[in-house]
Chains A and B, each alone.
Chain A
């Protein structure tokens, strides 16, 4: 049991530091290790877990299910800590470093340069996700209408997302 927990911790903490651009980057490697190397679950189970966890924020939460299947609740906790711990520590260290340089002229320049990049990435990621295979015409319509409603009106996002859910549930995908 302890050995399994250690394996879980080791595997996910390495993946945590490799997940550039978010968890999606390491999914193939996660599948290979959990299914082919450790034989913790079958390919089919991995796909099911992916489907189950996809709508749950903040991404990469499939690790909870893999941990749970492998070593129960303890496995789930260890997997969660291992997946988010190392990258969070790194984020913390970088944030600290950033704040220590407060007031420097070059930092203000860098911050101003960062703004349009972050804005571009925000919009671009939305478009990139929408362009995946599953996004059919109805889903595109919902995305476009939501984009317009939420950028032009003060409607509550939950109301709009609920509306999107109802529309697609009624029309059937």
Chain B
């Protein structure tokens, strides 16, 4: 019986005007987006290759240790998944003079966006009149008089709705993926396909949540005209408002000091305050040293000092010991002040992290945000990838600055002790280079578990609510 009901709902949906329109729209938008994104990805890839060549050319003649950090910087290469999902990879780069303002005004459109906005809207369009529409047509009474249980009807409604939505989406996506498959230079790996599969699974859960919202709203309302109003109201709040407000709300509840303020503060601590402290401590030390080494008490001119240093071994010894003491005092002052600055910076970091965590939690009230995190993390274009990239950079940093550089410098010095190793071009072709590799699927999946869980839980709650509302529905 359930199967008959589902088949009826699917047939009903497929033959409807809205199915035709949404299929056409989805197909056009998805294929156009994939085509454009793939083209854009290829351009990015070309540019990345050109940039690497430039760096190699530079390294051949000008690589020197003093400023190598400005040249060999870890950069994120374009990844094949960018032909579907863009996430945080668009280059706004507000820290550079030539930042790119276009993505700020017109955010790029990608698969995440299409599913999050378009598919959720389509899901509501299909389900807003699931119950009240049948009531208005009078078919609900007929069905119920046939001895079909209400739970079967509501299950069939939900299943039928989701299945009808599934096919247009998957077919359009398949059409888009063919362009990717046919393109020899967009090399998708099995890892990427696995991630895509999971993203599709996430999309289905996401779309189901919106279908359930539609069914729930429609079994609360008596007329489909008011049901669509409520559905759209809920949609606007969940899709267009809650996620956008979340970081602002979080910044009100858990404020973090502005980065500029902290930067100024730490600069002052490590510069002006450090000097004051150092002077004070050095003066004290000098008084102490004057007692310990009376030879130093004499006030000598620079020339006399030099003369005496050369001739008088006692004086030389005292002078060197005192200089070492003073140096230690300054190092101590430096340490104290950096510790103070470190406290401030640590506090800023902690507060920022708390604020981010809260923003994420608030935004996850909206299924759109959960889905966005899920799909960007799975495709390595999200927050998770930023952390992964930072970890890779740190590893490279260690390999270059702690292993490679000291060894190389020592080797250079052993060849020519008088060489200015910092400002001489050096052959660094044997240096470790930064290589970006995407994180394994396991880690990515683990990071998306909360999003999946939230989506599934909200689905379950909505299902229960829709079920109860339909059981109590007055079909007359």
B partners with A: no
